[in-house]
Amino acid sequence: MFGYKAASLNRAIFLCCFHSTGKFSSRELCRMSSNPVAAVCQVNSTPDKEANFAACMGLVEKAKEAGAHMVFLPEGFDYIGSSQEQTLDLSETLAGDIISRYSDLARKLNIWISLGGFHERGEDWKRDRRIYNSHVILNEMGHIVSVYRKCHLFDIELPEKIVSLKESAFTLPGHSLLPPVQTPIGKVGLGICYDLRFPELSLALLRQGAEILTYPSAFTMATGKAHWEVLLRARAIETQCFVLAAAQVGNHHAKRASYGHALAVDPWGEVLGDCGGTDVGLTLVQIDMEKLRDIRRNMPVQQHRREAKFYCSMD
């Protein structure tokens, strides 16, 4: 089943939500839009890489059918392992099978794809068996145009919420931020999941010209309920950017579940699309750059920002 609605600030934004049991009709297709269309996906990855690829491929195909110019898949789109050992064993390099298959898919469908969190083997894999959490951008020719490696690693203990994760036990932190990527929908600044909690990252991307921020994620149930939407809306409001956040949803295995609610947020902080907390699916949203320019012109926050040293004056 699917639903759709119109949302507006200065002008109408059309979106629709597609779930795995439904199809788009001609009324819901976004082909006639004068604005580029992004598809923000919600998936339920397991340790089964073949099943995960089949599910993600189906969503990318549906997004293309609906007129999307770029598709966003979440962190762990390739798999979510049931143990540290399995997570490491299933990892690959950028030259491996998984990225190759997605490159072929992008080229076949002539569409850009954001692979939001790939388990990439580190440079010294044979020596230390550690990986990167890598956000890979493919263009419509299937070429890798950017690889951002997650800088902030999720190490957290919340006994009262039964949450205990230590990403740094087997994951290497990225060495640097990357400049936004020019895509068919605008200039996209790359983050991954826990990066969402660090406004310094989003502001750095804004200074480099970002118009869209993306945070592909696998938020836990506890942190998702408490912080997911409010953090995404905050990042959109403070940067006056569109924010697109593909998400994992549901039970991945006996030890882990994700919150879902893949979101698209506009530069005013309005939620344009929400995939909910139960189903695999996607939301389509028009990226209205005129709306972004209007918001930035009418409330010129960035012009009012003081020089960097001012904010360090108490240090």
The one-letter amino acid code at 223 reads T
Does any domain span residue 158?
yes
Whether 1 is in a domain gets the answer no
Active-site position among 16, 17, 75, 167:
75
- Alpha-carbon distance values, 282 to 66, 68, 145 (Å): 11, 11, 24
Q: What is the mean pLDDT of the chain?
A: 90
41: nearest Cα among 297, 270, 218: 218
Say whether 193 is catalytic. Answer: yes
Q: What is the C-alpha radius of gyration for the chain, rounded to an integer number of angstroms? A: 19
Surface-to-core class of residue 88, CB atoms within 10 Å of its CB (0-12 exposed, 13-18 middle, 19+ buried): middle
Whose structure tokens read 């440079």?
123
| Joined tokens for residue 32 | 């006639």
- Looking at 193, 241, 275, 291, which residue is catalytic? 193
Domain hosting residue 162, numbered range: 13-312
Active site residue: 17, 56, 62, 150, which one?
150
Residue 131 lies in a domain: yes
pLDDT at 166: 81
Mean pLDDT (whole number) for 231-248:
98
pTM: 0.90
DSSP-derived letter for residue 173 is P
Query: What dihedral do alpha carbons 249, 206, 285, 75 form, nearest 10°?
Result: -20
Give the list of residues 6+ apart from residue 199 with CB closer than 8 angstroms, or none: 234, 235, 238
Does any domain span residue 4? no
Choose among 201, 270, 287, 187: nearest CA to 236.
270
Under 8 Å between Cβ of 10 and 294: yes
Question: Is 150 noted as a catalytic residue in this protein?
Answer: yes
Tell me whether residue 5 is in a domain: no
Mean pLDDT in residue range 75-87? 97
Does residue 286 fall inside a structural domain?
yes
Using one digit for the tens of pLDDT, what is the confidence trace for 144-165?
A: 999 999 999 988 776 776 666 7
Q: Which range among 81-85, 93-97, 272-276, 311-315 shows the weakest confidence by mean pLDDT?
A: 311-315
Q: What is the average per-residue pLDDT within 207-232? A: 97
Q: What dihedral do alpha carbons 180, 129, 72, 9 form, nearest 10°?
A: -60
State the pLDDT at residue 93: 98
**What mean pLDDT do residues 98-122 have?**
98
Please count the structural domains in the chain: 1
CATH code, domain carrying 81: 3.60.110.10
Contact present, 75 and 216 (Cβ < 8 Å): yes
Residue 6 lies in a domain: no
- Rounded CA-CA distance 182/189 in Å is 9
How far from 96 is each of 27, 119, 152, 259, CA to CA, in Å? Answer: 40, 11, 25, 29
Residue 204 within a domain: yes
Angle at 63 between CA 62 and CA 64, to 5 degrees: 90
Instruction: Report the pLDDT value the prediction gives residue 24, as an integer from 0 to 100.
Output: 53
pLDDT per residue over 39-57, tens digit each? Answer: 999 999 999 999 999 999 9
Whether residue 69 has pLDDT greater than 80: yes
Whether residue 291 lies in the annotated active site: no
